[in-house]
Amino acid sequence: MTISMSKMTKVAALAAFAWTAAAGAALAFEPTKPIEFVIMAGKGGGADKMARLMQSIVEKEDLAPRPLVPANKGGGSGAEALVHLKGATDPDHTIMVTLNSFFTTPLRQPGLEVDIMTFAPVGRMAEDTFLLWVHKDEGVTTFDEFLAKAKAEGNSWVMGGTGKNSEDNIITDFLNENYDLTIKYIPYKGGGEVAKQLAGRQIHSSVNNPSEALGFYESGDVIPLVAFTNERLPLFPDVPTLKELGADFSYFMQRAVVGAPGMSDDALAYYTDLFSKVYESADWQEYKSGRSLMGDFMSGGDLKAYWDTQRSRHKEILTASGAIK
Amino acid sequence: MDILAALIDGIVIAMQPTNLGLAILGVVVGLFVGAMPGLGSVNGVAILLPFTFVIQEVTGTATSPMIFLAAIYYGAMYGGAISSITLGIPGASTAVATTFDGRPLALDGRADRALVTAALASFAGGTISTILFTAFAPPLASVALDFGDPEIFALMLLAFATFVGLGGDDIPKTLFSICFGLVLATVGFDIISGEPRLIFFDITGFSNGIRFLVLAIGVYGIGEMIWTINSSRYKNTMTDVKINAGRVIASIRKFSDAWRGTAIGSLLGFFVGILPAAGATPGSLMAYGVAKMTSRTPEKYGKGSVDGVAAPEAANNSASTGSMLPMMTLGIPGSPTTAVLLAGMVIWGLQPGPLMFTDQPEFVWPLIGSFYISNVIAVLVNLAFIPLFLWMLRMPFTILAPLIFVLSLVGTYAAYQNLFDVWLMVLVGVGAFFLRILDYPVAPAVLAIVLGPIAEPKLRQSLLLSDGDFSIFITRPIAGPITIIAIILILLPLIKLIRDRLRQPKSSESA
């Protein structure tokens, strides 16, 4: 199964490469009106900041003849955005920045009738990372101490996260199941709000992305205990990964741009080209390394294959946690 | 003394010709964007963000582009009042409360008075909040952090409590109006569970929720226009306004009448502004409610009280300064506009966050300096333009009505680029007209749709924290007193109502 999958990926990648190369030669499509740039999350979170940065880069480097107009549609863990894209009246001028709710929300809400494979694979800009954070006054400096304290406090230990059954919820569920904890999970609107709640000690811990917690980390208010990555992050060299601590678990967030279902091939080629330029810009590269983002640019068939594996993985995770049957 | 020296340095930099010129330009742009229904500070700032990269390249500093955008933000807060007063359509969501008394004043031939009061109250609010910002920014940032879910919910409860008295004396109808607004606020996807709610007839447009401007423009644009047409069928409704400098100056002299509203708006607006969940719209609505509630002559509110114009106008300017505080000290936007500013700051190479005041003083202080300068510019520009705005009022209603109609349509489309919302806005307007015929107050419904989406998740998050125990709102040190005050405020008029009915059984029957 895995072999045939990777073969398929390769073939798809080759085809995609040949096809983008051909399309890149002559731009058959150029936007003729402002491009709606849907953000699958609320204002101030990691996805929002990133989307606005991409928009700014497009403006600054003058990459597109028409502006990107950001629109936050964070309702229902991204369901609002997915439904909006599915019903887009002009798919050639409608693109979206995604989170992992791109995978989980259609799985949890089959009633939305959203098939992510019908979306246009414009480009994956990065994979965001997750760390476990606590406030400096919590009296916890290592993951083991966290486990001991969270266990002792039981149900009154509060983890804040963005939305129900979201990335943060998945990681919290993992911790609860594998370390015999009963942490209480409270969903908030965005990562920015979660960061604020932790800095004000309204909650005990969070699993913010680095971009969301960085400000309070630098000011010394919050400390990272463990990274949910495969290797240590360059920005946090002293923070061990969960793998080092003995659990075979890592988790990333897709930061990708997708086009509305029904986008023409020419338009898709245009946007892939546009966002590969954004990806290569100095501003993006700086943001990426400064916020501990990982992963390379990926588009076309590669990206679709990546979606497929991610969707299967999330299906497993959500089934295990009982979120879906 | 450190602060004072840094501030003076900052003001000197903000006064440099380039920065001063950018501030003037920003204020004028903001004034017009704010005055245009549907377009608010957030649109102005977002549209001109690309232009700031050019400014940054030319000046080589992040301060100048930020001064420009902050000036737009301020200008828009001043400008929002203009269409609220002259046309009765809120120029921006932040200026909804300004229509409550600004419009009656204008219809009464005192538009100049309303406009001057709005301008001066905005100036006072902007300046008082900037002083508070200068002196207390870092400690206030920690206050913002002390506001957890139960505290924010308690504050929202207080806002509702102040509005129970807003709909006039008919408390049951006011409560109905609030509940109606709250129901409308739940339309769309639930933030916490992710489930869709109240998607009428499976129309996907409802999944975005019923947006605030759709309601505000519908109620105050279309609804108000139909009402005016209906109630003044055979009368000439042209408002007679004389335009001369003498009247403007006389109005400036009479500004002291509105000191109470100004003071309440300035302080309350700033405080609500610094809370990341809130922003200028709830701030101005709350200021209006509190000003009315504490007034000795609450019956004048809604009929042309200058305090009723001053309170929301002082508050929205004060709140816009306030919302810069969590943005600069915590890296968290307190309003949609600051979310865009934050994005700008990142791309100009700044790192907004807890370390900004210590690490980047060369950015922070000139910006704070420019807050002072921009406010002075904004009030002068605004006063200078008043004759032009008054001229709009001299249009006969037969011209004004179609103009309002077109502006309402264009404004709604401009805000959301979505025809569904335009239709919904018209529908809301017709609905509001009928509610008004039946003597239901619509302002509380408008308030509910602003505050509902803030209050509901906070209520549920609080109850998750406490395992469903409502005492969390009473036992926490900050939430407790706020909740108790709110409950007393809600109960007072009810007790009064019951007492009156017990005393005068006859009159209650006839009522």
Put simply, whether B193 touches A (Cβ < 8 Å) is yes
- Same-domain check for residues A146 and A295: no
User: Distance (Å) from the C-alpha of residue A142 to the closest C-alpha of chain B?
Assistant: 24
pLDDT score at B301:
85
Report the pLDDT value the prediction gives residue A11, as an integer from 0 to 100. Answer: 55
The answer to whether residue A162 sits within a structural domain is yes
Domain end call among A178, A194, A227: A227
pLDDT at position B129:
93
**Which chain A residues are Cβ-neighbours of B207 within 8 angstroms?**
75-76, 79-80, 83-84
Residue of chain B whose alpha carbon sits nearest to that of A34: B417
CB contacts of B330 in chain A (<8 Å) are 196, 199, 215-216
Residue A211 inside a domain? The answer is yes
A22 domain-assigned: no
Chain A positions in Cβ-Cβ contact with residue B193 (cut-off 8 Å): 164
A187's enclosing H/E stretch is strand A184-188
Cβ contact (<8 Å) for B196 and A79? yes
- Is A191 part of a structural domain of the chain? yes
A121 and A76 together in one domain: yes
Q: State how far the Cα of A190 lies from the Cα of A41, in Å rounded to an integer.
A: 7
Interchain CB contact of B354 with A (< 8 Å): yes
Average pLDDT over residues B358-368: 85
Task: Please enumerate in sequence order all residues whose Cβ is within 8 A of that of B181, keeping only pairs 6 or more positions apart, or say none.
Answer: B444, B445, B446, B447, B448, B449, B452
Write out chain A residues lying below 8 Å of B332, CB-based.
Answer: 44, 192-193, 195-196
pLDDT for the residue numbered B169: 63
DSSP string, B223-287: IHHHHHHHHTTTS---------HHHHHHHHHGGGGGHHHHHHHHHHHHHHHHSTT--HHHHHHHH
**What distance, in Å, lies between the first and last C-alpha atoms of chain A?**
23
**What interface predicted TM-score (ipTM) does this complex get?**
0.73
Q: Which residues of A touch B340 (CB under 8 A)?
A: 52
Q: What is the pLDDT of residues B475-490, one digit of tens each?
A: 988 889 889 988 887 8
The pLDDT score that the predictor gives to residue A306 is: 94
Query: Which among B485, B366, B375 has a CA at the least distance from the CA of B7?
Result: B366
CB-CB: which of A67, A80, A215 is closest to B331?
A: A215
Let me know: does B298 contact B99? Beta carbons within 8 Å: no
| H-state helical runs in chain A | 2-25, 46-60, 79-86, 101-108, 143-153, 167-178, 191-199, 210-218, 265-280, 282-290, 300-321
Distance (Å) from the alpha carbon of B320 to chain A's nearest alpha carbon: 17
Out of A73, A165, A214, name the one closest to residue B194 (CB).
A165
Q: Residue A75: is its pLDDT beyond 80?
A: no
Mean pLDDT of B32-59: 79
Nearby residues of B73 by Cβ (< 8 Å), 6 or more positions away: B30, B41, B44, B45, B320, B337, B341
The per-residue pLDDT for B497 is: 73
Confirm whether A238 is domain-assigned.
no
A136 and A119 share one domain: no
Model pLDDT, residue A258: 96
Walk across the sheet containing A184-188 and list its strands.
A184-188, A158-162, A205-206, A131-135, A222-227
Tens-place pLDDT, residues A280-296:
999 899 888 888 888 89
- Whether the per-residue pLDDT at B157 is higher than 70: the answer is yes
CATH number at residue A203: 3.40.190.10
In a domain, A243, yes or no: no
Place of tokens 């505000």: B216
Q: How many domains would you assign to chain A? A: 2
Contacts of residue A309, Cβ cutoff 8 Å, sequence gap at least 6: A5
Residue spans of the domains in chain B: they are 2-510
Most confident of A9-18, B273-282, B301-310: B301-310
For residue B346, name the pLDDT band (cuts at 50, 70, 90).
confident
Which contiguous run of DSSP H or E holds residue A61? none
pLDDT on residue B116: 92
In this predicted model, what pLDDT tens digit does every residue of A114-149 receive, in sequence order? 999 999 999 999 999 999 999 999 999 999 999 999
Q: Are A123 and A256 in a shared domain?
A: yes
Q: Is residue A111 scored above 60 in pLDDT?
A: yes
Instruction: Please give the biggest Cα pair distance in chain B.
Output: 76
Per-residue model confidence (pLDDT) at position A267:
95
Residue B90's closest CA among B105, B102, B104, B75? Answer: B102
Among A76, A24, A88, A148, residue whose Cα is nearest residue B188: A76
Looking at chain A, the whole-number percentage of residues with pLDDT higher than 70 is 90
Over residues B110-125, the mean pLDDT reads 91
On chain B, the residues whose CB falls within 8 A of the CB of A215 are 330-331, 351-355
A81 in reach of chain B (CB within 8 A):
no
Residue in B57, B197, B207 to test binding to A, most A beta-carbons within 10 Å: B207
- Residue A113 forms contact with B (CB below 8 Å): no
Residues 282-311 of A with CB under 8 A from B: 283, 287
From residue B464, alpha-carbon distances to A134, A262, B4, B474 in Å are 20, 41, 45, 16
A205 and A183, same domain (yes or no): yes
pLDDT at A15: 53
Assess if residue A186 is contained within a domain.
yes
- Cα(B503)–Cα(B511) distance, integer angstroms: 14
Q: Note the pLDDT of residue B454.
A: 81
H/E segment holding residue B176: helix B171-185
Mutate to test the interface with B, among A89, A188, A214 (most CBs of B within 10 A): A188
pLDDT at site A183: 95
What residues of chain A lie within 8 A of the CB of B149, using their CB?
202
Instruction: Identify the helix (H) or strand (E) that includes residue A190.
Output: none
How far, in Å, CA of A155 to CA of A136, rounded?
21
Which of the listed ranges A59-68, B140-149, B222-231 does the model predict with the highest average pLDDT?
Answer: A59-68
Mean pLDDT of A216-238: 92
**A38-67 average pLDDT score:** 83
Write down the pLDDT at residue A8.
53
Range of the domain at A149: 131-227
- DSSP letter (8 states) at residue A17: H
pLDDT at B223: 86
Tell which residue, B42, B25, B30, B103, has the closest CA to residue B414: B42
Q: What average pLDDT is seen over chain B?
A: 82
Q: What is the pLDDT of residue B507?
A: 47
Mean pLDDT for the stretch of residues B7-36: 89
Average pLDDT over residues A16-27: 50
Q: Which two tokens stand for residue B392?
A: 């709009």
- Residue B192 to residue A158, Cβ atoms within 8 A: no
**Res B71 pLDDT > 60:** yes
Tell me the percentage of chain B whose pLDDT exceeds 70: 92
Among chain A residues, CA nearest to B414: A69
In the structure encoding, which two tokens stand for residue B76, read together? 């828009």
- The CATH number of whichever domain residue A88 belongs to comes to 3.40.190.150
Task: Indicate if the pLDDT at residue B89 is higher than 90.
Answer: no
Give residue A10's pLDDT band: very low, low, confident or very high (50, 70, 90). low
Nearest to B189 among A79, A158, A184 (CB): A79
The 10s digit of each residue's pLDDT in A152-189 is 999 999 999 987 778 899 999 999 989 999 999 998 87
Range of lowest pLDDT (B15-19, B59-63, B232-236): B232-236
Provide the 3-class DSSP secondary structure of residue B351: coil
Average pLDDT over residues A220-225: 94
Whole-angstrom distance between the N-terminal and C-terminal Cα of chain B?
A: 63
Separation between Cα atoms, residue A269 and residue A284, nearest integer Å: 20
Render pLDDT for A301-325 as a digit per residue (tens, 0 to 9).
999 999 999 999 999 988 887 778 7
In sequence order, the 6+-apart residues with CB closer than 8 A to the CB of A163 are A77, A101, A169, A187, A188, A189, B191, B192, B194
Q: Is A282 exposed, middle or buried (0-12, 13-18, 19+ CB in 10 A)?
A: exposed
For chain A, what percent of residues have pLDDT higher than 90?
A: 52
Q: Is the pLDDT confidence value at A9 over 70? A: no
Mean of all residue pLDDT scores within chain A: 87
Please state the length of chain A. Answer: 325
pLDDT at A22: 47
B353 touches chain A (CB under 8 A): yes
> Side chain identity at B135, as an amino acid letter?
A
Judgement on whether residues A51 and A93 belong to the same structural domain of the protein: yes
Between B140-149, B209-218, B391-400, the lowest mean confidence (pLDDT) is in B391-400
Judged by a CB distance cut-off of 8 A, whether residue B65 touches chain A is no
Does A117 share its domain with A162?
A: no
A20 belongs to a structural domain: no
